[in-house]
Amino acid sequence: MKNETSPYRALVVDDDANVRELLRLSFEREGVRCEVAEDGIVAENQLRQRNFDVLVTDLRMPRKHGHQLITEVLAKHNRPMVIVITGVADPRIVGDLFARGVADVVSKPFDFPIFAVKVRAMLDRQTKGIDMAQPHAGVAGQIDQASLALQAQLAQITESFNATISNLTSQKEALEAGFLNSVRVFTSLIAESGHSDESHAVRVEQMAMDLADAAELTSSEKNVLGIAALLHDIGQFGMPDSIRSKPPWLLDPDERAVYCRYPLIGASLMGEMPGAMKIAGLIEQHSENFDGTGFPWNLEGPHVSISARIIRIADGVDTFLSHARGENAIDQVCEHIRAQRGKAYDPELVPRALVYVTDYWKASQDTKTVRVPADSLRPGLTLAENVYDPDGHFLARRGATLTLSMISHLRSLIGKQDVLVVEPESE
């Protein structure tokens, strides 16, 4: 153990707090000053502020992973020694790290005090120039040949890896699209049990996705938002029809007391689903107003997530639109949006909402529909109304794009009954 003050400074980056603390203590016992960071973003800021002699980093971390941090650090002119600690013992990954300039790769778990002694010794040797000696010419040639072989192998591995990632991405997107369609069908069934002739939830999802682009949400955030937007009213399922059939602003105090519980009920229902914590959180917050007058917790402004604020304006606008009457209905909706700017609705989202509502209204007026016998349906047509069998059973939702499977089942259930579809554009 070395107690004297050391000129060395180490930065330990790991998302495991126990690992960070044990390494910090071990380094300090060896006289190495040590700072810690929980991920690559925090580490990046520390590296900007001061120089370090050694960077010890994990690979798998949130926000910014170790591979990206290592790439940026090794590109610097005055770079620290880089040592990787990881639980991923893949020879190809280890070979790649060494090829990129990493000084050592240590597999977890390991002995922290011995690791600190080893790093201190490596720093001492580097300082004395032992590792900087030029290799013999023959050895240098062998190293060059080995390096070329490794680069060729790395190119093959990279090509295979990229192909695998592309394939997995396509499968992931297909699964997500299929799941979203399943949720859309489910929400349409909920609407059928109430008083809607089409799915309010699907329209809320469509507007929310448009606002998500304006808010620059990530792909992952959009996926969670889409599901939450479709299921935002799930807590109303089972409420008395006398409450569900009224616009919220016409409820009496007793009815409103019952109504204001539905976000919590919805969050509770979603809480039973593994991995649905973020969705449940958006459902719980989506009725909070920007000025803090919403429910259930009277949260305001930035205390409500941006995704929940998006659902709030999409839900409020569609609810108001569905009750607007007269030829100037769209003007009424736009006036409602402006009046609620900074009150119910996030003021940053209002301009995009006004554009969306105007475009949506124009598109709905311009959309032409045509009735087609079920035996003349073809894949790719979009349903312009909900489809029911002769006994009144709900079969398919408005807005669904027909597939071969759907057409086959519809023909079996409704025979030659006419179906209203969006008139396809002339080819």
Give dist(CA 229, CA 311) in Å, integer: 6
Start-end of CATH 3.90.105.10 domains in the chain: 368-427
The Cα–Cα gap between 85 and 18 comes to 14
CATH class in words for 9-132: alpha beta
CA 205 to chain centre: 15
Helix (H, G, I), strand (E, B) or coil at 270: helix
Position 270 scores a pLDDT of: 82
Q: How far apart (Å, rounded) are the C-alpha atoms in residues 97 and 41?
A: 20
Choosing among 3.10.20.30, 1.10.3210.10, 3.30.565.10, 3.40.50.12160, the CATH entry for 193-366 is: 1.10.3210.10
Cβ distance 284 to 263 under 8 Å?
yes
R_g of the chain, CA atoms, integer Å: 30
What pLDDT shows up at residue 5? 57
Is residue 165 classed as helix, strand or coil in its secondary structure? helix
Q: How far apart are CA 152 and CA 158, in angstroms?
A: 10
Residue by residue, DSSP assigns 138-190 as: HHHHHHHHHHHHHHHHHHHHHHHHHHHHHHHHHHHHHHHHHHHHHHHHHHHHH
Residues 288, 299 contacting (CB under 8 angstroms) = yes
Would you call 304 exposed, middle or buried from its count of C-beta atoms within 10 A (0-12, 13-18, 19+)? buried
Phi, psi of 85 (to 5 degrees): -115, 125
pTM of the model: 0.55
pLDDT value for 315: 96
Q: Give the start-end residues of each E strand in 333-415.
A: 369-373, 387-388, 394-396
Phi, psi of 144 (to 5 degrees): -60, -45
What does the alpha-carbon distance between residue 55 and residue 81 come to, in Å, rounded to a whole number?
Answer: 6
Map tokens 């002339």 to a residue. Answer: 426
- pLDDT computed for residue 425 by the predictor: 73
pLDDT value of position 283 = 94
Quote the tokens at residue 301. 């402004």
Per residue of the chain (427 residues), give pLDDT as tens: 454 556 899 999 998 899 999 999 999 998 999 999 998 899 999 998 889 999 999 988 887 788 888 988 888 878 899 999 988 767 878 888 888 889 999 988 889 999 999 999 999 888 876 544 344 445 556 666 667 777 777 777 777 777 767 766 666 666 566 566 656 656 665 555 554 445 788 899 999 999 999 999 998 899 899 989 988 998 887 788 888 888 899 999 999 999 999 999 989 888 777 778 899 999 999 999 999 999 999 999 999 999 999 999 999 999 998 888 888 899 999 999 999 999 999 999 999 999 999 998 888 777 889 999 999 999 999 999 889 988 888 888 888 899 999 999 999 999 989 999 998 876 4
Closest CA relative to residue 286, chosen from 311, 317, 259: 311
Helix runs in 55-136, H state only = 66-74, 91-100, 112-128
pLDDT of residue 136: 45
Question: Cβ contacts of residue 156 below 8 Å, gap of 6+?
Answer: none
Both tokens of 212, joined, read 């998500």
3-state secondary structure of 282: helix
Task: State whether CATH 1.20.120.1200 applies to domain 368-427.
Answer: no
Helix H or strand E segment including 90: none
Q: For residue range 361-407, list pLDDT tens digits in order.
A: 888 777 889 999 999 999 999 999 889 988 888 888 888 899 999 99
Helix axes 137-192, 219-231, angle to 10 degrees: 10
Sign of CA dihedral 187, 192, 193, 194: positive
Under 8 Å CB-to-CB from 11, ≥6 apart: which residues?
A: 34, 35, 36, 37, 43, 46, 47, 52, 54, 55, 56, 80
